[in-house]
Amino acid sequence: MLKVLFLGEIIGIPTVRKLKKCISQINEQHQFDLIIANADGASDGYGLLSDTAKQIRYAGVNIITGGDFIFNKKDAGDLLDHKNFVLRPYNLPPTAYGRGYLYVPVKNDQRVGILNLLGRTNFNKIFAHDPFYSALTVVEKLKETVSTIIVDFHGGTTSEIQAMHWHLAGKVSLVIGTHLRVLTADERILNDYTGIITGAGFCGAANSIYGLSPEIEIKKIRTGQFSYSKIEKGEITLQGIIAEIDETSGKTESIQRINQSFT
């Protein structure tokens, strides 16, 4: 059985600095075979720097996935072209930096396919191709060589994410919704095969608005005026899911939420 930890979006450098300790504590209990994390907001809430990606990798994350902010930083080209453990959404123009899927070795000489997709709802600064068509195209390719396929769908609405759950039900092992930065309570297994959750949550300050300062975020809403967001510090919460997958068939046998705090 393959044991997988998928962490919701990592928010801010203070979280990254504590990540190694947090992951070590969780891993002592569960002994994961594969750890994946979305890090679209890891550097300052809006993007991922190359050095930050290396710190996340050092903390114990095997594969990093992205989303609509993945090209925000000045070293995005170096990050995506030279860090073979970082993904950007697959359904972008072929001229985009980086790759949208990869194969990662796990125990017993097995490999897992990991796919990153971007939705098209509520994203007005990045223009993705149809993720539903793209998903079937690349999943067919992945299935030629692997049984276990994990999908990070970075979607802008709950309905779009849940549509992708059913679109890929029975075809892939996991479909994890990211971008919402809210941990939802709908984890389950569809078609007796595919583990799903609409929102994998976030990793960041527990007393915050998804890792950001409540004071500043409220001010922006109340005044209608732009202010730079600020990463909140303090107790860290790690959210996401733990899944057990039969590596021979690719079938998810169990999926459960995690929502654990660390001082």
**Is the pLDDT confidence value at 108 over 90?**
no
**Which one has a higher pLDDT value, 108 or 99?**
99
Please determine, for residue 169, whether its predicted confidence score (pLDDT) is greater than 90: yes
Task: Please count the other Cβ atoms lying within 10 Å of the Cβ belonging to residue 136.
Answer: 13
pTM for the model stands at: 0.96
222-227 average pLDDT score: 92
User: What pLDDT is stored for residue 254 in this prediction?
Assistant: 98
Q: What is the rounded CA–CA span in Å between residue 68 and residue 117? A: 10
Upper half-sphere CA count for residue 78 (Cβ side, 13 Å): 10
Is a pLDDT exceeding 90 seen at residue 199? yes
Cβ atoms 174, 150 nearer than 8 A: yes
The pLDDT value given to residue 125: 86
Residue with tokens 């004071």: 215
Instruction: Report, as an integer, the average pLDDT of 119-138.
Output: 94
Backbone region of residue 251 per phi and psi (left: phi > 0; alpha: psi in -120 to 50; beta: other values): beta
The tokens for 159 are: 């309905």
Distances (CA, A) of 131 to 71, 171, 177: 18, 15, 13
**DSSP H or E run through 28:** helix 13-30
H or E stretch at 81 = helix 76-82
Cβ proximity of 252 and 194 under 8 Å: yes
d(CA 175, CA 106): 19
Instruction: Output the pLDDT for position 170.
Output: 98
First-to-last alpha carbon distance for the chain, in angstroms, is 32
pLDDT tens across 43-73, in order? 988 999 999 999 999 999 999 999 999 999 9
Q: Is the predicted pLDDT of residue 263 greater than 90, yes or no?
A: no
CATH of the domain at 206: 3.60.21.10
Can you name the residues that pair with 244 across neighbouring β-strands? 3, 254
Contact call for residues 197 and 187 (beta carbons, < 8 A): yes
Task: Write down the pLDDT at residue 82.
Answer: 87
Do the beta carbons of residue 12 and residue 231 sit within 8 Å? Answer: yes
d(C-alpha 135, C-alpha 164), whole Å: 9
With contact defined as beta carbons under 8 Å apart, do 147 and 249 qualify?
yes
Contact (Cβ atoms closer than 8 angstroms) between residue 223 and residue 215: no
By residue range, what is the domain housing residue 186? Answer: 2-262
Structure tokens at 62: 């095997």
Total number of domains in the chain: 1
Using CA atoms, how far apart are residues 242 and 2, in angstroms rounded to an integer? 10
Rounded Cα gap, residues 240 and 256, in angstroms = 9
Q: What percent of the chain shows pLDDT beyond 90?
A: 92
